[in-house]
């Protein structure tokens, strides 16, 4: 069975998993999807009576999509499933454009910009399924082997 499920590829698990599925991928990018469910616990406090998805969790959905992209690349070069961990190294140029509410479906896209010194520089974007832009950002990730400093 090919590894295609999100949890086959990255170590994140509920309640800290913010990607539901992979929609598509190319050599330089990946698109994932997330449905933001009204019953998720963080909506109880952000904000009671007027719930909005926390921006930091929207950013995390982008970082997890980047980790999916990197895991697929690692597997293509011979890594074993579950070998390596994504480590966020830098975040910049975050722009929030629209809020996301319980029940919204988002498409999360990452694109590789360049690889340098063991770090992959990427751009990310979140859109609602109707095409409305939610956020854009730039970030860098290293794919590290557990228990050591080796970067894949």
82 contact partners, CB below 8 Å, separation of at least 6? 11
Asked if residue 67 lies in contact with residue 18, where contact means CB atoms within 8 angstroms, the answer is no
Q: Which two tokens stand for residue 124?
A: 């990310």
pTM of the model: 0.92
In a domain, 1, yes or no: no
The pLDDT of residue 77 is 85
CATH code (residue 44)? 3.10.129.10
Mark out the alpha helices in the chain (DSSP H runs). 6-9, 55-76
Look at the chain and report how many structural domains it folds into.
1
Out of 46, 72, 113, 144, pick the active-site residue: 46
Report the DSSP pairing between strands 105-116 and 29-35. antiparallel
Please state, as a whole number, how many other Cβ atoms lie within 10 Å of the Cβ of residue 145. Answer: 14
Per-residue tens of pLDDT for the chain, all 152 residues: 244 589 999 989 999 999 999 999 999 999 999 999 999 999 999 999 999 999 999 999 999 999 999 999 888 888 877 778 889 999 999 999 999 999 999 999 999 999 999 899 999 999 999 999 999 999 999 988 766 555 54
Domain membership of residue 29 (yes or no) is yes
Say if 150 falls within a structural domain: no
Q: Quick check: is 135 in a domain? A: yes
Structural domain contains residue 152? no
In a domain, 50, yes or no: yes
Query: Is 13 contained in some domain?
Result: yes
**DSSP codes joined into one string, 7-25:** HHH-S--TTS----EEEEE
pLDDT given at position 149: 56
Q: Is 12 a catalytic residue?
A: no
- Tell me which residue range forms the domain holding 45: 6-144
How are strands ordered across the β-sheet holding 21-26?
Answer: 21-26, 29-35, 105-116, 119-128, 133-144, 85-96
Asked whether residue 129 is assigned to any structural domain, the reply reads yes
């Amino acid at each position: 069975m090919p590894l295609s499920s999100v949890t086959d590829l990255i170590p994140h698990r509920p309640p800290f998993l913010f990607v539901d599925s992979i929609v598509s991928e190319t050599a330089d990018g990946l698109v994932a999807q997330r449905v933001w469910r009204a019953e998720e616990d963080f909506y109880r406090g952000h904000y009671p009576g007027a719930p909005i998805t926390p921006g930091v969790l929207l950013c995390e959905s982008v970082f997890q999509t980047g980790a999916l992209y990197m895991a697929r690349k690692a597997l293509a070069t011979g890594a074993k499933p579950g070998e390596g961990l994504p480590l966020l190294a830098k975040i910049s140029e975050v722009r929030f454009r629209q809020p996301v509410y319980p029940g919204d479906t988002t498409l999360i896209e990452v694109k590789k910009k360049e690889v340098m010194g063991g770090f992959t520089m990427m751009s990310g974007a979140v859109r609602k399924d109707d095409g409305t832009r939610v956020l854009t950002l730039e970030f860098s990730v290293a794919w590290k082997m557990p228990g050591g400093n080796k970067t894949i």
